[in-house]
Amino acid sequence: MRGVRGGGDAAAEFHTFFERHYAELARLAYLLTGDADGADDLAADALLALWHRWDRVCAAEHPAAYARGVVANMARSRIRSAVRERRRVTLFWGSGRGEACEGPDVPAVVDVQEALRSLPFRKRACVVLRHAFDLSERETARALGVSVGTVKSQTSKGMAELHRLLGPRQALERVRMSAMGGER
C-alpha cells in the first residue's frame, strides 16, 4: 500500500481509521444502495480513495463525515451507472417485442430496503444519515455537501414517504434497525 505521506505514522493512522469506520461505512453503503455484496466493495473502494487523499482526510475538521461523503458520492455514481445499464438492457431486449416495460409490482407490504430504494438518492441519504446513523442535520449536510435546509426538507419528505410505505410507527424504527444490521 502506497502512503501519501510516506511515513509509518500515516499508515498507522489510516489503519486505525479503517478499523474504526469500515463497518459503519459498509452499512451506510448498504442502506444507500440496497446491495449487500456491493456495499462491502463500495466501502473498500471509498477507503482506498481516502488512503490516496489521506493528507486531506486528516486535515478535515471531521474525517468520518468526509468518509461518509465519499461513500455517498460513490453510491450515487454506482446507482446512476446501474440505472443506465438497466435502461440499455431494457431497450435491447424490449425493442423487437413491442412490449411495454412497466414499473415493478410493489407488494402491499414492503420491507425497509425496498422502501429506501424507492426514495430518490438525496432523500434516502438524508434519512439514512439522520435516522440510521444518528447524525445531526449539520453533520449530514457536511457529509452530503448540501445545506442544512436541504437536509431538513429532504429528510422530512423522505420520512413522509417511508411512513406512507411502511406505516408511521414502523418507519423510523425499521430504518434504525437496518443500520444496526438487523435487516441486512
Q: Which three-class secondary structure string do you get for the chain?
A: CCCCCCCHHHHHHHHHHHHHHHHHHHHHHHHHHCCHHHHHHHHHHHHHHHHHCHHHHHHCCCHHHHHHHHHHHHHHHHHHHHHHHHHHHHHHHHCCCCCCCCCCCCCCCCCHHHHHHHCCHHHHHHHHHHHHCCCCHHHHHHHHCCCHHHHHHHHHHHHHHHHHHHCHHHHHHHHHHHHCCCCC
Same domain, 81 and 6: yes
Domain boundary among the residues 102, 123, 147 is at 102
Tens-digit pLDDT profile for residues 6-65: 457 989 999 999 999 999 999 999 988 888 888 999 999 999 999 999 998 888 889 999
Verify that 4 and 27 share a domain, yes or no. Answer: yes
- Residues 147, 59 within the same domain: no
Query: What predicted TM-score, i.e. pTM, was given to this entire model?
Result: 0.56
CATH number, residue 98: 1.10.1740
Last residue of a domain, one of 81, 102, 123: 102
In this structure, the answer to whether residues 27 and 86 fall within a common structural domain is: yes
Domain count, the chain: 2
Q: Which domain holds residue 158?
A: 107-184
Question: The CATH number of the domain where 160 resides is what?
Answer: 1.10.10.10
- What confidence category does residue 92 fall into, taking pLDDT thresholds of 50, 70 and 90? low
